[in-house]
Every structure is written in structure tokens, then in C-alpha cells.
Structure 1
């Protein structure tokens, strides 16, 4: 029996059912995308004899309209009915920041009721790591500005309560985004509940200064995900130029993980991920260092 002749309880074929289907039967939420574009750059040199410190930066746009007019938000916008979500993410990124043709991966879907004061909005977030020197950032007509912010996340309080079948962990993180003219902050609370084999994670923005919508918890989630992924994938190499020193690569790992790494241990860990070249740095003020490239044959976990 073909699908065309199968009848439902009302005696309708699939074609008849679809022709009579009322799409207004259910309320339809709007769908948006939010993009987290990370890069690592050098801080301004204070001593030319020392290598510059590296910092993690995140691209933000300044909202030019309500709601949250004048505050900073992740690049993004509404998905059109005739495009898939990945296409919409790339389109919005190009329209809002002039960034085109970069790799992004889906991060998480955010659907809390009331997260957008305009209407019911579900947002799919994307994350990308880029070498910012290859990009030409320009704000769109509906945004007042687009700017890189130095981003840091610090755990400021942690409390663990044991329960009969597990525990509840409360974690408070302070998020800081800084540029030459702007200082944005937020406190994000994560509640991790473990009961036997079941783990539940809840997140909320406790306070936010200058960051629009629920974007502080999206940023916090992305940083935690980035710190996790850098341990078992080659994602960090998206932040590097084609050729780099091992010291520069270690600095990128350290700034993302927010911790100092032992040089010998780090070099053992990434030895299979890099290929040595016959070239050296030519920076003034310190001895030349060997340059390396990413090993295209290296296979990570994914």
C-alpha cells in the first residue's frame, strides 16, 4: 500500500491532510541566530624585548534600536522563512559585521520564555574562532558599532551541597568584556544538579551591565565549551596564522584555559599536531624562534 492511500483517523490521505492543514493552529515562535566570534590578539607591547601578552577577544555589536538600545550584543538576527539556520547565521554575520566565508559550528539552542521582550524567541547560537587580522570588521546600518572586546570569565564563588542521590553545585562566574572605551560586566550563575546518572544544568544572569538580552550566559557557556574543546581538538589552530612559534601557540592555550602551562608538558601534548618548518622569526629584540605549521594529517577526537 502506497503512502498516498493510507488514511488517518479522519479518513484523509496525506495530500488531503496537508491541503487542509491550518498552520495557525499553533502559535509560532520567532527563530534567531547569535554568533560568538572569538579571536586571540597581542596586547600592546610595553617592552619590545619581551613577547607581547595575548588576550582572548569577542566580537560584539552596539544596538542601534530598542530593545536594549545602546547596549552591546552578539551579532545575530532573525531567520527568514525561506532559509535554513546555517544560511541565516552566515547572512546575518555578513550583514552586521561584514564577515564572510568563515567556519562556524552550532553551540546551543536557547529557548527560555521571556528571554526577548519583543516576542517569544528561540535562538540558535554559533561559535567560531578566527584570525582577526584576516577580517575587515564594519558595522551594519542597524548597528551603531562593531568592536572586539577582551573577554574574561572568573569563577568567584562555588558551593556544593550533598544530597541523598548526588549533589547540587552552585557556581558564580564574573564575566568581563573590555575595550578602550567600554567596560561591560555580568554575573552568571550555573546550578549543576547530579542525581544518580542524571545531570541537570541550569543557568541564569544574576546581573548585567551593558550586555543585552541573555547574552552573558551565552558567552559564559561558549567560554566553557571553548575551554573543553581546546583540550581534545585542533580548534585553537583557527586562531593562529599559517606559521607560528610554539611559544605563541602555548600562549593561546593559556589565555583560553586561563592558566599557566608547563612548557615541556605542553610541547609533548601538541607534538603530533604541528609540523616543523625551516623558517625562523625575524622580530627585533629577542632571538629568532623556529616556526611551525598545523599538521593537516593530525586527527583529533572531533
Structure 2
């Protein structure tokens, strides 16, 4: 096997396929902040673009594009992030590569249309954002994300356990316009036991309004995000530099999908994990006592990473 390093375009030419990046850009925003008739509600939101052309014309997709010959895959992801949000100093990580031969219907017409996509996840503070639709998109909007799952045990009918199956229900909703836009999807994930190894299969069972296999990519990113909240400082990438503990707890609850006991959360942040440190600033809100403002503790990173 050759050890030569191929640039994306050279790889594409040799293997009759394109290499692309898809960047999932998450933030925490007030769901109805653009609708004065409704009470704002903080939710995890995902940036989606509306496709201008076929296939999936009019459907909503994760921002992304083909990797250019003069850049690495990582550089392409950073470029897409900059083009869509006008910022580049935020948290971004590579998630997974998606290469099913049927993921792009254009591949049935010609193998030159086959595309392998490397997905990335970016977490941004909503106050820094300046969103715009790219030239290949008709529109760009924030969609709130609702995400639930049901688990089943896989058996062979003889009492032998073969693995585990999850049905993930995903709903993306945008309420910024006159009429709300709702995009539901069902993603099935099977974890199959093969000796001491676990093989995972993913499938989009149905998807309404979400292009390509992007419902599956979104589901995977949410699974990764929820798992990492428990043992990393990833949630702080969705926070401003200074914040109250109440604001931080709200973000943790949104990411974990459950309510947390306030005394336990404060103890974990301040004394057990020591993830935050107090500042000399306080937040003054009308009708409320001034609240202590905190910031992320960089010493936690030095000790734990």
C-alpha cells in the first residue's frame, strides 16, 4: 500500500468521488425571539440552509461544500464555518465520515457524483453570530432541535441477545417566519454484538424536509454532544465569557435533555469539579437581586486534559 498523501481533488479523481465537509453549527438561542407574540424559550438550535437546486430542492441541509484541491479537509470545514457565521475562533471538532454509495441520488446517474462527507460540529455563543446564506443556498435559518429515543433489545428468537437497537425521533422547527417550518425524521441505530466487538449500523427510516442523509448526521452529532457534556467542558463553548450559574445550568439541562437539582449542580461546578470561578462582576436584572457572574476555570483544563 502506498504511503503517499493525496490531496482531496487527487483522491476524487482517482476514485471517482468528491470529498466534502458538512459543518453542524449549534448554539443556544431563545426559540421565539423573532416572534413578539410568543414567550421566548431557550433551546439548542442548529443552523440549516435551504437548498437552491436539485437534488432535494427546497429541503433543508447542513451547511457544507466540496473540499478544494488547495486545502485540507480541516481547512475546508473552517472555511465553511467562516462563510456561514462570519466567525472562526470557536470550538469545532471532527465527528465522522459518511460514505454510503447511495447517500447522494446523483451517484446513480454517474459515479463521478458520488461524495464522501466528513462531518464537523461547531459550538458558538449566539451573541457572536452573523448568519448569511451562501451562494448555493436559498435561505439560512436556525432550527430548534427536539430529540428523543426508544431502546430495544435485539434477540434471535431463542433467548440469545444479539445487540441493542435505538429509534431516535428528531424534529427540527423554525418559527421565525409567518408559518412555522417543521422537519421530522426517524433514525434507527443498531449495535450488533460480534464476539468481543460491536458493529454499529445507522439508517434514516424516514425524513421529511431534511436533505440527503443529514438526519442521520444530526442524530450522531447530538449523541456525541450529549455524551461529552458529562465529562468535558464542552458546554462552555455555548456560553458568553461571563455567566450566572443559573444560565449555565440551563444550558446543561438543554444538552442533557433533563432537569438538574440546583444544589447538586452548584456543588459540582464550584467544589467537586471546580469548572467555574467567581468574578468581581454581577448581573443586574429588573425585579431581581444582582446575580454573581462566573467564568470558566482554565486550571480545570490544565489538570484534566
Secondary structure class of the residue paired with 2:300:
coil
Secondary structure class of the residue paired with 1:32:
strand
Gaps of 5+ in 1: 1-13, 15-21, 46-50
Q: How many residues align?
A: 276
Aligned to 1:159: 152
**1:279 Cα deviation from its structure 2 partner:** 2.0
Aligned to 2:6: none
**1:136 Cα deviation from its structure 2 partner:** 0.6
Aligned to 1:110: 98
User: 1:97–1:146: 8 Å Cα contact kept in structure 2?
Assistant: no
Aligned to 2:239: 240
**1:297 Cα deviation from its structure 2 partner:** 1.3
- Distance in 1 between residues matched to 2:207 and 2:172, nearest whole Å: 11
TM-score norm. by structure 2 comes to: 0.84
Secondary structure class of the residue paired with 1:94:
helix
User: 2:46–2:143: 8 Å Cα contact kept in structure 1?
Assistant: yes
Aligned to 2:164: 169
- Distance in 2 between residues matched to 1:89 and 1:80, nearest whole Å: 11
Aligned to 1:19: none
Query: Aligned pair 1:85/2:87, yes or no?
Result: no
Query: Equivalent residues in 2 for 1:115-134 (5 A)?
Result: 115-118=103-106, 119-134=113-128
Aligned to 1:41: 29
- Distance in 2 between residues matched to 1:282 and 1:43, nearest whole Å: 23
User: 1:166–1:195: 8 Å Cα contact kept in structure 2?
Assistant: no
- Distance in 2 between residues matched to 1:252 and 1:94, nearest whole Å: 24
Query: Aligned pair 1:27/2:15, yes or no?
Result: yes
Query: Equivalent residues in 2 for 1:237-276 (5 A)?
Result: 237-271=236-270, 272-276=274-278
Cα RMSD for the two superposed structures: 2.4
Which structure: larger Rg? 1
**The one of 43, 58, 62 aligned to 1:74:** 62
TM-score norm. by structure 1 comes to: 0.85
Distance 1:25 1:112, change over 3 A: closer
Secondary structure class of the residue paired with 1:38:
strand
Secondary structure class of the residue paired with 1:270:
helix
**The one of 175, 179, 201 aligned to 2:174:** 179
User: 1:97–1:139: 8 Å Cα contact kept in structure 2?
Assistant: no
Aligned to 1:198: 197
- Distance in 2 between residues matched to 1:206 and 1:301, nearest whole Å: 40
Gaps of 5+ in 2: 4-9, 34-38, 107-112
Which deviates further from its counterpart, 212-221 or 169-178? 169-178
- Distance in 2 between residues matched to 1:251 and 1:107, nearest whole Å: 25
User: 1:111–1:121: 8 Å Cα contact kept in structure 2?
Assistant: yes
